[in-house]
Amino acid sequence: MQLFIAAFEDVPDPPTENVRHDLVKMLIVAFVAVLCGAQSCAEMAAFGREKIKFFKRFLKLKHGIPSHDTFSTVLRMLDPKALDAAFGQINARLVAALAKGGVIAIDGKSLKGAYDKGGKSAPKMMVSAYAAGLRLTLATVAAENRNEFDAALEVIGLVDLKGKIVTGDALHCNRRMVERIVEKGGDYCIALKGNQESLLSDARACLLAAEKPKGARNALPTAKTETKAHGRIETRVAVVVDAKGLAEYHEFEGLKAFGRVEATRRTDGTTTTDVRIFALSRKLSPQALLDTARAYWLIENALHWQLDVSFGEDAARNRKDNGPANIAVLRRRALDVARLDQSNGSLTTKLKRAGWNDAFLLELLGHMR
């Protein structure tokens, strides 16, 4: 618990009327409550009251557990960037394990229940940098006015990219983004679509020119994988070709190669094919391209999907000021902690066990040492 206390001490106290409760202790109670499944400020307060004996083992709670109104007020005013940075300190040792060549996926997620009055169609959004191999959130930024691209640029600036590969969807295939990645010592593997029409056309031309018939001498190397799950068979084939000096022509910093992944899915007698083309700043092997492209989907399946299923993020109704962003940060960091546990059982079950069993809760928190 001392690790959390030391990190939260760097979070600036917001300008509120809260004078009875220490911010560091409030954040610890809030985080532990979310780790045990709390989804609102009311549940944080209720959890704290039920677990007050547990918290008093580590914290001096002169005025007891704050009310749900106090939690709400503080989280509305607190700077979410400062809160996320505090967790970054806690995760520093784990992040150091991100190997050279590790994949960092960038993507945004809407907080579907967090919207201003009359703005249901435009909920607030969080953009995260996710270490696919570690299944760990590296940084999270709230997208002002749902501007996902600018938030992605900001989140990239918070992460050490040296020797890493950044991947993202076509929204991030932009000159400003690739310049930032290269400037920070990283590489990129970013989906290429119609938002870069001229570059996409040249990528297709390069791929077509490099292809030779199967069995021909010096045929273009490929990599292939096949997976079977849930009644579906999916085959992926990847190729990589040189970009032939197109970086300068398109003013696309660092561009070295293009990659193509063709995915064929067969389900109940129906076959569909999807072709994705990537801009690469490093000429990956076809197998490395397959691995990198697949790693991107982990931010969808291992982060975004899990936040909805185990933490009920889509159903959350925190809406005011910085409240949605701060609670979103707590959810993502609680997911990081829960994932470190290697015992059997689903993630949802582990969150409930942490709430039921103090020894297991301490075991989860102990993984952060």
pLDDT tens-place string over residues 4-29: 888 899 898 887 766 788 999 999 99
Is 203 within 8 Å of 241 (Cβ atoms)? Answer: no
Q: Rounded distance, CA 29 to CA 71, Å?
A: 10
Alpha helices in 234-274 (DSSP H): 246-250
Question: With bands split at pLDDT 50, 70 and 90, how would you rate the model's confidence at 321?
Answer: confident
3-state SS, residue 65: coil
Q: Rounded distance, CA 245 to CA 237, Å?
A: 25
C-alpha distances (whole Å) from 271 to each of 89, 223, 346 are: 47, 20, 32
**Chain centroid to CA 230: how far?**
26
Handedness of CA 214, 217, 222, 227 (dihedral sign): positive
Higher pLDDT, 231 or 216: 231
C-alpha distances (whole Å) from 211 to each of 207, 255, 286 are: 6, 20, 14
Given a cut of 70, whether residue 218 has pLDDT beyond it is no
Higher pLDDT, 239 or 100: 239
Reported pTM: 0.88
Is 240 within 8 Å of 259 (Cβ atoms)? Answer: yes
